Structure 1
Amino acid sequence: MLRLRRFIKAWGDRRLAVNRRLHGATDGDEARALNYWTCAISHYERYLSRVPSDIGVRVRLANTFRESGDLNSAIAVLREAMASRPEKQSLRIILAEILDEAGFTGDALELLAQTQHASNGKDESRIAVEGDQNNPPAPEYEARQVHILVNVADVSDPILNATVESLQNQDFKSWRATIWGEGANAGILNESAAKDGRFVFDAERVSDHLSGPVLIIRAGTVLRRECLGWMLWALEDGVEAVYADHEANIADKFVPVLQSSPHPLDLETNPMPPAVVLLRERVEVLGSNFLDARMCLEGALQCGTVRHVPLVLASVPTSNTVAVTSSASTEQREVGGRILVIIPTRDEGAVLDVMLTSLFERASDRGALDVVVVDNGSQDVSTLSVLDRWRQRGVETLRRDEPFNWSSLNNAACEGRPQPIVVFANNDMEMLSDGWDLEVRRLLAMDNVGVVGARLLYPNDRVQHAGIVMGGFNGEPLHEGLRVGRDERGPLDRWVRRRPATAVTGAFMAMRRSVFDQVGGFDAENFAVSCNDVDFCLRAGATGWTILYAPELVLRHHESLSRGHANTESKQQRAAEEMRRLLARWGARARFDPTRNPQWEARGIRLFAGMRSLTTEEVMDWAIKTESRPFGQLETPTLA
């Protein structure tokens, strides 16, 4: 009987494998492995129309929707699967994870409570719950006295005493604290702290006797017991300042505030700057501004090295949100001269017409634009008519009858054209920002900014691009904010504020011509179609230029209309080979992104879906790799 059951099972498995291969499920697996979600979904749905009872493929379909960012469709597919197989506990767990990821944590927990895993107390889910992250111990560091400045302005005695108790509980004991501000006196401390000789009071001004490292915090900040140890370790090697992550009370809930690596342009627009900053030496300040973390870090970034410790080392009672602007209009400097706009195209005259019209209509100075359309072998009569009409209006057409090579087409259009600003754009776009050309001039005039990328939206107004994160999906680069709603802001507003990025998409990329020449243009030999923009940004960043994501530049993008998606075997093989070359060329750098805090945990394309604990070695590695360095002093990876 046992042999018979085994034979029947083996026969069923073989039959299932044949059906999956014949009716599209295997094709779906291959497309999904290459992140071609639309293609994979189509194959899975075609298969399930023939074999609706295959729960395994139904789960693959749900996970593909999840990876593409369409959580509602993933939930619907899994609910349908559960209706047909209510006894299958694994379906409940997967559905609970996706419900939690979509923000329905209550429904997720209720669903888990119904499972056998939950009743047995096993933690089979990945649902993030509130509670302290377990911070690793600090490495060895030089023990020296730390002076702590605590601002007591506009706080109650209990809030101050919470800070005082956290100081007394520090693993590192060699510190003195100046409690500063109106009403600062021993009477506001609890009995234990009042007897602690390490506390002094200064109601009018900061003590003139500060020496050595200085930690600045506001009353109400509660430090984790390992805080001073980690901050002191990071302050070694001539570092000027150190900051760490914290958690803040937002809408009556403590939420982690996870910072990026040190950069003045990130700090400038950060709505919740670091709450805990350790300086190497005392600072000369006036009034209460000495406790402004943003000002202290700005000063440190100008004169030396700054490190970030990617650990939540403190809690603050309020979010301390600071109003910032994402507009570069306050930046008065501009890069002068004419702007060269390069747009490769092949047929698709209607969308090209939309792009050209929107560029000119929304420009603040149309007469300063030189537009070159690189015609890569258009045959469509209507497209040729569009090109001729725009040629009569001053738009140049450069004919290139050759196999599509995005890098080569753009490089060719740059040759012999001296404009100081170059904008590379796809034909399947529509500019939505008025005065975009003026914004480009101002953004590129900012210190050390060499490349600027835009915020791109799909036709349904969901986000297609808010910067590129290295190692974001299966170790490969991934667009940030992919498929989120237009109004979603992201952690620390990163999808809607101007900030440094490791890379931006070439679908709309503006740069100084000098940067293009210095880097050597796009690599047409190795990256004909894909990865060329990421490779260029990595090379520009390696020479010290800042890559800037600028959401004040907004375009609508109908992706890949001219050349089509990589939906054939040859296109998929080409894309996979170019990705392999990118990862081989850049090694570990291709999987490391200093703009995304390493405590973030990704789930599919959701790059900020949860938190993970770090080891001591991981914290040290991040702090050292991402420390700020003077412009032009960055190490250039070997380009093998």
Structure 2
Amino acid sequence: MGAEAAFGSFRIALDIGSNDPAPAPIEVARDVDCCRLAEVARLYRLVLQTAPDCPGLRHHVDLLAKGSTLAELASSLMAVSGDVRDDRQTAARLFWARAGGNPAAFAAAWRRASGLADFVAELARRPLARDNILRALFPFGVDPHDDDAGPAWGYRLWAAEIDAVLARVSRRFARLLRAFGACVVLTLDLDPDADPLLLDATVSALREQRYRRWRLLLHGQAPAGWVAPADPRIVRDEAADRPRWRRGVLRGVLRPGEILSPHALGTIALAALRRPRTAAWRTDEDRIDPAGVRSEPMLHRSAGLVLRRDREDATGRERHLPLVLLHRRVPVRPPSTIVDDRAVLPSVSLVIATRDRPGLLQRCVDSIRRTIASYPGAVEIVLVDNGTEDAGALDLLERYRGEGCVVKRRPGAFNWSALCNSGAESAHGEVLVFLNNDVECFRDDWLDRLVCAVQQENVGAAGAKLLFADGRIQHNGVLIGPGTVAAHRVDGVAEAEPVRRSVSAVTGACLAVRRTVFVRQGGFDESLPVTWNDLDFCLRLRRGKLDIVLAADSVLRHDEMGTRTPDHAPENVAQLASSLRIIRRKHGRGLRRSLCRDRFLHPFLLAESGATRLDSDVAPRLLVVLAMGGLTLTS
């Protein structure tokens, strides 16, 4: 049977794997904390039928660390529970049923137990039916950087669950990979100044791969005293390209200190079978300390393991396997590539809608004037007054008019789209930058960076990174979908991404667009007066094959909601519902199609969290990603 025939039931087989009635236990090499965490959580669910709160979880895990047994913990919890009566066998049947055990097997299991507490402890040591410790402990997602709001083992437990699913998939497709899997050829660049311990760690992890079809080519001079292990698959580079490798070759580079996950090569080889014309695969990475404790996941970046297909007919695009398959002992920050041409920058019009609030307006305009002195092109400020009545604000507008600003009166009901469109009609710049009057500029290069990003031909609009007053990120792009879900990205996980990257949308609090593009799109939709108008504009640009770019090197402060009440305030609910109906009518089909919730969001990050939390329910999405052979790279 050929590889394509063998793959005929690939998706079905993976779906079956996700419903495995007896899932493999969480595999946590050298990480006892995760095992204890799972055991305590199961005890709570068996005895108290609830998930432990953080203090309770920490307390019981600490007791285990100090020498208490799981049976002793079970006994103390049963003392709290009202389910344990004099008839201990009846209580054991109750716990057995809660664990999803086969009723016919109960008698044998009860005979083997030395007592009720030992019986319950034994149940807690193995996964429950439909077990999902992550979802029970982290119903709103796992924050990998937060040790205070949740258990310190959050990310390690999440990563262990990923590894367990990969182990099951690896076992299921072991025969297929042995028959059709490509040979993985990795080059290890040696350096005489390299740390021998890092080299040993890298080579040892490679030799522990579950997938056996690999070769390691040693290149360069090894450090003094380091000798490569005696393994026929580890050779000098002159022994490469053996003619018997007829099943295809995937090539990559390893560096000292890079530790491969045990299932890394097999997972990529499986994706290569699924996508025979894809040119390359990129994975994610995290940090690992000498004790094997993992932290700091770096998702959807230019780092991670990269394997390229060594075949001329590999014409497909690169794909992203959104899995942490490489662990790094030594951190490496990838270089940022920025197209930055300040020699010729176009004229700019800054369009600001305002009403009353003289303090906000003065802070905004004065900060703009302080920070644009070095901009090489012409800059004008257009103030669109939406019926100001405050005497101080009226005096301020007249003062700004006398100092060269364009002041346009447009009274009536607040309609941000109409105000911005009106301001654009009075503007003369080649680039329009729409700003809220609650924005403050504090860096001299913010406008240069923003305009450099938007003047690229393939870019429709660009936005800036916005900060709260205390320095926290308020906006780093907007995440959209599926449906009418939208949230500001605050980059709790992927904080080291390039300073210029594509996003689904940017906020209108700071949005730059070339005048020609703005006119061609018809400006902002005035049927969306308050919400979704900026996102609608970005979605229309994307539908026209133009990119939306986040210029994270252009940084402003934003006093969000400084000029209006929240969208979900009672007085705004009707308007919000109307806007959502319009968005569903205009973009509903596109918003429904999204495996990853947002095409620029890592599939295991939650959009509603602003990309700060990992999805607790990892298995179903992981299996779909594997069945697809990875995701097409979009940024």
Q: TM-score, normalised by structure 1?
A: 0.65
Provide the rounded CA distance (Å) in 2 between the counterparts of 1:92 and 1:223: 33
Contact 1:180 1:206 in 2 (8 A): no
Deviations 1:268-301 (A, max 9, x none): xxxxx12x11112389xxxxxxxxxxxxxxxx9x
Contact 2:605 2:611 in 1 (8 A): no
Task: Determine which of 293, 307, 323 is the counterpart of 1:278.
Answer: 307
Task: Determine which of 482, 504, 507 is the counterpart of 2:506.
Answer: 504
Secondary structure of the residue aligned to 1:386 is: helix
Contact 2:455 2:514 in 1 (8 A): no
Partner residue in 2 for 1:148: 186
Provide the rounded CA distance (Å) in 1 between the counterparts of 2:457 and 2:310: 26
Question: What CA RMSD, in Å, does the superposition of the two structures yield over aligned residues?
Answer: 4.3
Contact 1:601 1:612 in 2 (8 A): no
**Are positions 1:387 and 2:397 aligned together?**
yes
Partner residue in 2 for 1:587: 591
**Are positions 1:403 and 2:413 aligned together?**
yes
Partner residue in 2 for 1:13: none
**1:573/1:471 CA distance change after superposition, 3 Å:** same
Contact 1:599 1:614 in 2 (8 A): no
**Are positions 1:428 and 2:447 aligned together?**
no
For 1:451, the aligned partner's letter is A
Contact 2:480 2:607 in 1 (8 A): no
Secondary structure of the residue aligned to 1:391 is: helix
Which deviates the most, 159-168 or 174-183?
Answer: 159-168
Contact 2:257 2:330 in 1 (8 A): no
**1:166/1:337 CA distance change after superposition, 3 Å:** closer
Deviations 1:64-90 (A, max 9, x none): xxxxxxxxxxxxxxxxxxxxxxxxx89
Which deviates the most, 354-363 or 372-381?
Answer: 372-381
Provide the rounded CA distance (Å) in 1 between the counterparts of 2:380 and 2:417: 20
**1:461/1:385 CA distance change after superposition, 3 Å:** same
**1:162/1:348 CA distance change after superposition, 3 Å:** closer
Partner residue in 1 for 2:288: 249
Secondary structure of the residue aligned to 2:625 is: helix
For 1:350, the aligned partner's letter is G
Report the CA distance between 1:308 and its aligned residue: 0.5
In the alignment, structure 1 segments of 5+ residues that lack a partner are 1-88, 98-104, 261-265, 268-272, 284-299, 482-488, 630-640
Report the CA distance between 1:363 and its aligned residue: 0.5
Percent of aligned pairs sharing the same letter: 26
For 2:190, the aligned partner's letter is V
Partner residue in 2 for 1:238: 277
Partner residue in 2 for 1:368: 378
Which deviates the most, 589-598 or 333-342?
Answer: 589-598
Report the CA distance between 1:503 and its aligned residue: 1.9
Report the CA distance between 1:421 and its aligned residue: 1.0
**1:94/1:603 CA distance change after superposition, 3 Å:** farther
For 1:152, the aligned partner's letter is L
**Are positions 1:522 and 2:548 aligned together?**
no
Provide the rounded CA distance (Å) in 1 between the counterparts of 2:381 and 2:523: 18
Secondary structure of the residue aligned to 2:506 is: coil
Contact 2:51 2:137 in 1 (8 A): no
Contact 2:484 2:580 in 1 (8 A): no
Contact 2:446 2:556 in 1 (8 A): no
Provide the rounded CA distance (Å) in 1 between the counterparts of 2:583 and 2:63: 42
Provide the rounded CA distance (Å) in 2 between the counterparts of 1:495 and 1:377: 42
Provide the rounded CA distance (Å) in 2 between the counterparts of 1:363 and 1:621: 51
Provide the rounded CA distance (Å) in 1 between the counterparts of 2:361 and 2:447: 19
**1:452/1:618 CA distance change after superposition, 3 Å:** same
Partner residue in 2 for 1:352: 361
Report the CA distance between 1:107 and its aligned residue: 7.1
Provide the rounded CA distance (Å) in 1 between the counterparts of 2:399 and 2:316: 55
**Are positions 1:224 and 2:225 aligned together?**
no
**1:362/1:601 CA distance change after superposition, 3 Å:** closer
**1:224/1:563 CA distance change after superposition, 3 Å:** closer
Partner residue in 2 for 1:31: none
Partner residue in 2 for 1:438: 448
Secondary structure of the residue aligned to 2:333 is: coil
**1:250/1:610 CA distance change after superposition, 3 Å:** farther
Provide the rounded CA distance (Å) in 2 between the counterparts of 1:108 and 1:580: 49
Partner residue in 2 for 1:339: 348
For 1:551, the aligned partner's letter is A
Provide the rounded CA distance (Å) in 1 between the counterparts of 2:593 and 2:211: 35
**1:379/1:423 CA distance change after superposition, 3 Å:** same
**1:537/1:94 CA distance change after superposition, 3 Å:** farther
Provide the rounded CA distance (Å) in 2 between the counterparts of 1:627 and 1:609: 20
Provide the rounded CA distance (Å) in 1 between the counterparts of 2:450 and 2:600: 22
Secondary structure of the residue aligned to 1:608 is: coil
